[in-house]
Amino acid sequence: MRAAVAVVLPWLDGGDKPERTPLAAAVRLSLRTLEQDAPGHTVEVRVPPFAAIQCIEGPRHTRGTPPNVIETDPKTWLELATGRVGWGEAVADGRVSASGSRADLSGLLPLLRF
């Protein structure tokens, strides 16, 4: 994951947006890392158009819209994953939509720091 995210760091620091393939790889691999760090099926994390995962232990969700959903755009997700923006700040700014009592990743982020 570290190498994939390193490719998009210039964009996170104000540079040009990367091409779709490396951006998708960075998002997918970082989400997969979150999934491994916090296994479970209680919270669905969506980063359209690239990926969605379920994570965090607790009641398993199997049908319909999950009760705990987090959704954000790729840039915000990668900023969260790398510690360039904090969870509370991103939620307060409306860059992250988090619904449900367990939809809080503040204790799991950042996934890595550069």
Give the predicted TM-score (pTM) of the model. Answer: 0.95
Token output for 7: 């490719």
**Residue with more model confidence, 41 or 104:** 104
Count H helices and E strands in the chain, helices first. 4, 4
Strand order in the sheet with 43-47: 51-55, 43-47, 69-72, 96-99
Q: What is the pLDDT of residues 83-96, one digit of tens each?
A: 999 999 999 999 99
The verdict on domain 2-99 having CATH code 1.10.3720.10 is no
Average pLDDT, the chain: 95
Residue ranges of the domains in the chain? 2-99
Average pLDDT estimate for 70-82: 98
Q: What percent of the chain has pLDDT over 90?
A: 89
Residue 99 has pLDDT above 90, yes or no: yes
Q: What is the pLDDT of residues 3-15, one digit of tens each?
A: 999 999 999 999 9
- Residue 61: pLDDT band (50, 70, 90) is low
- Residue 63: pLDDT band (50, 70, 90) is confident
